[in-house]
Amino acid sequence: MWQNIRNNKLGIKVRRQHSVKGYIVDFALLEARLIVELDGEYHNEEQQRTYDDARTKFLNEFDLKLIRFTNEEVLNDISTVIEKIKAAIAEQKQNSGSNAGVPLLREEKGLGDEATSGVRVYTTRPDTIFGVDFMVLAPEHELVAEITTPEQKAPAASPALMR
Q: Is 68 exposed, middle or buried (0-12, 13-18, 19+ CB in 10 A)?
A: middle
DSSP 3-state of 98: coil
Per-residue confidence of the chain (163 residues) as pLDDT tens digits?
787 777 667 888 888 888 877 788 889 888 888 899 988 777 777 887 888 888 888 888 888 889 989 888 888 998 899 889 999 998 887 776 544 444 444 444 444 455 555 676 666 666 666 677 777 888 887 788 888 888 887 776 666 555 5
pLDDT of the residue at 154: 76
Q: HSE of 96 in the Cβ direction (CA atoms, 13 Å)?
A: 25
Note whether 112 and 35 are within 8 A (CB).
Answer: no
Can you list the domains of the chain with their CATH numbers? 2-98 (3.40.960.10)
